[in-house]
Every structure is written in C-alpha cells, then in structure tokens.
Amino acid sequence: MRDSLDDFSTDTPSRRTFESLASLLLLLVILAAPACGQKNDSPSIKLDQVGYPIDAQKIALISIPARTFQVKRSVDNVVIFEGTLSAGATDSNSGDSVQVADFSDLRTPGTYYLEVPGVGRSWTFSIAPDVFSRTYYLAMRAFYGQRCGTAVNLGPEFPGYAHAACHLEGRFHSSSGKQGRRDNVGGWHDAGDYGRYMVNSGIATGTLLWAWEMFGSKLKAIRLNIPESGNGTPDILNEARWNLEWMLKMQDDDGGAWHKQTSEHFCGFVMPEEDRLPSEVIGTGKPPYKSTCATADLAAVAAIAARVYQPFDKDFAASNLRAALAAWTWTERYPDVTFKNPPGVSTGEYGDADCGDEQLWAAAELWRTTGESRFNRYFVDHYAKYLPALRTLDAESWRVVAPMGLWAYALAARPDADSHSLTEARDASLAAARETLKRTRRNPYHISLNEGDFRWGSNGLAANFGMELLVANALSPDRACLDAALDNLHYLLGRNTFSISWVTQVGTHPFRHPHHRPSGAGHNPQPWPGLLSGGPNADRQDPVLRGLPADLPPAKVYSDDQGSYASNEVCINWQAMLVFLLAGVMP
C-alpha cells in the first residue's frame, strides 16, 4: 500500500475508458441483480467460494428476501441439506439486508452449491478437512511471483506466468549520503509497483516469520515449488529469506537502514524487466540519512530471523542477530529520524511520525531472542503508552506495529518477563480480541471491521483482525476466536456484498483486474494467482472510486478495475496477513 498516488501516464486513454466502462457495467450488473432475480450464480447469495472445514460453522448470507434454502451436491444436483433462513438483519456498512443460511450440520466432504427459491443458485464451494490448503499454497507462492532481481516462472501449473530478471542494477540516490553503484539485488516488489520499501517489508516479513513460529508444524511440509524447494529448509522460510537478504543489504556500515529502494517515480504498466528506470537507494537527504522506523523494523525482523533460522542455517541466523543488534544501537543513537520523500521522488513514502512503536517491537523481539535485560527494560519502560493501539487495529499496519511488540512480549512467555508488564500486555491483547469477537458476532456480514474501517487496505485489516484473534487463541485457547478469524477469511473469499473472492484465481468468482503491473502488462487471461485485493475504500483516493455513485455505502466503494489503486491494488503487507490467517485456520 502506498500513500503517494500512482502514475498512469502510460495507460492509453482507450484502455482507461474501457476499464472504467467495464467497472461501471460490473457495478450495474451487481446493483441490478436483485431486480432481475436471475436464476443462476446469483451474487445475492454470498458464501465462501473456497469452502468450509468439516467441523466449522457454515453460513451463507442471502441479500434478497427469501424463506428457505437447499444445499445441492454439484455432481448430481441432489438435495443434501435443507433449511430455513433467519430473519433479515440490515448491515449499515453495505446497506444490505441479509438473512443467514446455516448449514453447519452438513459435514460430508464434497462440492456443493446453495439453491434459494426466488433468488437463484450460489457459486460452488467445497466442504473438506483441508479446504484452505490450495489457497495457502497460492497466497504464499504469490511472494515468489513478487521476487525482484531474478527470473520468475510459475511453471507448468501456470504457463505464461513468468518474467525475466529485473532491476539488476542499482545506485545511491543523492539523498542517501553516498554515491555510486549499489546493486542490492533481491527482495519483493512491494505491491502493484516495483519499489522495495523497508517498513512495509518489515511488517510483511515479520508476519510471515510469525506464521512459521506459531503454525510451523502445519506448514513445514508444504512445498511451494520455488527454486529452493527441497533444500532442507521449509519453503515459507526459503521465500521469506529472499526478502530478508535484501533487507540486510539495506543496512549501512553504521547500523542504520535506508528507507527504500525505488526509482524516482513509478514506471508505466510494464513487465518488471522492461522497467529501465534506475533503482535507487533513497535516504532522508541529510545526516544520518537512514531512518529510525526502517532501522527499528530491520532490528525487529532480523531478531525474529535469528531464532527462526537457527535450526536450518546457524550462520544466517547469526548474521541476522548481528544486524539486529547493530540496528538497535543505531536507533538508540537516532531515536526520531523520520522519513519524507526527498525532492524529485514521488514513489510511496511510507512516512511515519512516530518510530517509538517500531522500537518497542524491536526491543520485544530482541529480548525474546537474546534474553538480554536491556531489551526487557526498554520494553517495560515504554509499553504502557502503546496499549491503546491494541483496542482497534489500524489499516496502515506498516505504520502501527505496537501490537506486534505487545503480542511478542505476551507470546514469548519467558521466565524473566516482568510480571506486571506481561500481565498488562497479555490482558490488553485478550480484552481487545474479546471486543473484536463481540463485534464480529454482531456484524450481519460476520466481519471484524468497524464502521470507519473501510479505508485503504480494508481487506488487509480484516485479515489483521483475524491475526489478532489467532494470537488471542494462542494466548488463551478459545474456539470462538478461531471461528471469528475464520469469519474474516470467509469475507475475503466471497461472503461479502459483491459476492466475489478477493484472491486472484481462488474461488469460483474471483476478482479479475488487480492494480498489479505483471498482471496488467502481461498477456495472460487471468491475473497472477493468489493475490489479495486491497478492498473497499470509502476515502476514494483514485479517479475510479471518485467516479462511483456518491451515495454508495462504505463497504460498496470498490471497483474491480486496474485503475483503482486505492481499492484494488495488491501489497505484501496484507498478503502476509492473509497467509498468517490461512496458516492459523488450517487443520
């Protein structure tokens, strides 16, 4: 996600017009559907198009008044389950009135669809014990597709989804305090653009490493079919390492980390190897040139890596620890060097006025890894100020990392923890999750988002609430938290007002036009697989969203249009939260 607007100068007007018309038509189809009462594949039946685990609650939502529903088996259209719909409830976020079809008692594995008399039939879905394993595979493998500095090829499973090695040359920008070549090959393209940004890399990579730490036993055998597969290290760690190594290269000799490596402005909608703009290491423009948020994020993530990679590559783990300690020392010396785009640079800023939460996260992770009392003391002295950040999570997860710090301290459960601080961090985390749980149960769409949460990256926030609930479940096991986490996943996979899956090539009716250069510039019929859309955004920071009807309720301010970077871009931070959520709910 970015806070600078993208550059569309290379989009042809006809394409833009076509895209806008296409999105308008889609919208009209969706709005018109209730009146038409179409018989097949009705978007008025909203359900998880991937499906439901066998023992989980299974709910679909119907947005046209009806009385009964049937679940039919896809293979022979035999009715397997019948039920009565609940009374309607109005969802203020979307304006929809929805009735619940509850078929939780159906536990027979298979592929099904719902038939609702007077409404139509739903998209197909599965009931299976491992129903989300394919989605996890695609969502995690999507990071491989974002690799920079190497040729990428998704192989025979996705013929044509490939790009040549990109951004192989780099140099220092004048704002970095240095000059000359700085190749820094590696890392992931951040989003729909080809920039690489330390703070967003921080939350994304940290979240993936946490997914490994918390759910590794479920993930270790999952082969992602990436170049490192079979090397003895679990593939989620192989993939995370690709970005981690780039992050380590962004550290200067004094321990500080530059904020980002991008071109001065966004390139057009071209494949990555066709982007000829110089890839530049960009700094703050004046001493000490590196930024505190980027450096503290590096300290936090490298500290996690130091413990996570220990069983697989001791040398790599040790180099991460050295990097983390050097970065920490730098932030002690420079606790408040913030970043603003220097003159002439218009790529994502990822600006943040307060790097104290990044330092809190770094201290918690360093203490968790090393047990050194100085890190414990830092946490104890600073955490209280950040407890309110737990009460409601922020869509800008890269900017507000205090929850990661507080959860890290609570999850570490080290014997040398300060008991008062541990109790507060743990109790506040659990109390916040209980509020989220209550809100999710009250919400007619069974999601955790608050009324004001339909902002840039709202889908990532839904996944992040899922993460909050899964962390709470780890601190104090509670099936209800797991169910509510699952509810947020159902929303992302089709149980939403649009009845679309917000993960490319996943589900029977996924979105098609992400703001993602390799999808837009390539010649494949579908976008690159496994990518999560940013989701509805009532702030409307792009022309496509501003062109939608002015009176749309917040949850409906979305367009499946490549031009809608404010609602339909992909991004590594919310992608990582989707992976965490999937990893957490898989059996």
CB of 533 to Zn ion, least distance (A): 22
Report the C-alpha gap between 562 and 534 in whole angstroms. Answer: 12
Cα dihedral 34/40/41/45 (nearest 10): 50
In whole angstroms, give the CA distance from residue 456 to residue 120: 33
What's the DSSP call for residue 528?
P
372 classed as catalytic:
no
Cβ distance to Zn ion smaller for residue 167 or 540: 167
Write out the two tokens for 542: 């792009």
- Closer to Zn ion at the Cβ: 189 or 446? 189
Question: Is residue 272 a contact point for Zn ion (CB under 5 A)?
Answer: yes
DSSP 247-280: HHHTB-TTS-B-SEEE-SS---S--GGG--S-EE
Number of residue whose CB is nearest Zn ion: 148
Q: Which of 515, 516, 542, 561 is catalytic?
A: 515
- Binders of Zn ion among residues 281 to 320 (CB under 5 A) are none
Part in contact with Zn ion (CB under 5 A); list of ranges 129-137, 217-225, 265-273, 364-372: 265-273
DSSP category for residue 76: T
Query: Is residue 513 annotated as part of the catalytic site, yes or no?
Result: no
Q: Give the shortest CB-148-to-Zn ion separation in angstroms.
A: 3
SS3 percent helix, strand, coil of the chain, rounded to 5, is 45, 10, 45
For the bound state, the minimum distance from the C-beta of residue 168 to Zn ion, rounded and expressed in Å, comes to 8
Nearest to Zn ion of 163, 512 (CB atom): 163
- Of the ranges 152-160, 201-209, 269-277, 302-310, which one interacts with Zn ion (CB under 5 A)? 269-277
**Smallest distance, Å, CB 189 to Zn ion?**
6
Interacting residue with Zn ion among 167, 241, 490, 556 (CB under 5 A):
167
Tokens of 220: 């270790």
- Alpha-carbon 247 to chain mean position: 19
Residue type at 432? Answer: A
Please report how close the Cβ of residue 514 comes to Zn ion at its closest, in angstroms: 17
- The SS3 call for residue 50 is coil
Nearest approach in angstroms of CB 271 to Zn ion is 10
Binding mask 201-240 for Zn ion (x = CB under 5 A): ----------------------------------------
Which of 149/514 has CB closer to Zn ion?
149
Cβ count within 10 A of residue 387: 18
Of 330, 325, 345, nearest to 197 by C-alpha is 345
Total binding residues for Zn ion by CB under 5 A? 4
Least distance (Å) from Zn ion to the CB of residue 539?
29
52 and 507 Cβ atoms separated by less than 8 Å: no
Residue 273 annotated in active site? no
62 three-class SS: strand
Return the amino acid letter for 213: E
Our finding on whether 148 is near Zn ion (CB under 5 A) is yes
For Zn ion, which is the closer residue by CB, 51 or 145?
Answer: 145
Q: Give me the catalytic one of 19, 193, 235, 357.
A: 193
Stretch that binds Zn ion, among 96-104, 124-132, 147-155, 549-557 (CB under 5 A): 147-155
CA atoms lying within 13 Å on the CB side of residue 101: 30
Rank residues 151 and 384 by Cβ distance to Zn ion and give the closer one: 151
CA 36 to each of CA 97, 113, 216, 255: distance values in angstroms, whole numbers, following the listed order: 17, 20, 48, 63
Positions 500 through 539 that interact with Zn ion (CB under 5 A)? none
C-alpha distances out from residue 141 to 153, 204, 249, 316, 526, Å? 11, 14, 23, 22, 16
DSSP annotation string for 395-460: S-TTT--HHHHHHHHHHH--TTS-HHHHHHHHHHHHHHHHHHHHHHHHSTT-----GGG-STTHHH
Q: CB under 5 A: which stretch of 148-156, 198-206, 309-317, 467-475 binds Zn ion?
A: 148-156
Q: Which of 61, 62, 119, 166 binds Zn ion (CB under 5 A)?
A: 166
Which one is catalytic: 115, 190, 275, 569?
Answer: 569
Cα distance between residue 9 and residue 16, in whole Å: 11
Binding mask 345-384 for Zn ion (x = CB under 5 A): ----------------------------------------
CB of 152 to Zn ion, least distance (A): 9
- Cβ nearer to Zn ion, comparing 49 with 279: 279
Least distance from C-beta 180 to Zn ion, angstroms?
20
Contact segment (CB under 5 A) with Zn ion among 39-47, 223-231, 254-262, 272-280 equals 272-280
If one asks whether residue 195 binds Zn ion (CB under 5 A), the answer comes out as: no
Residue 25 one-letter amino acid: L
509: annotated active-site residue: no
Q: Where in the sequence numbering do the catalytic residues fall?
A: 193, 515, 560, 569
Give residues in contact with Zn ion (CB under 5 A).
148, 166-167, 272
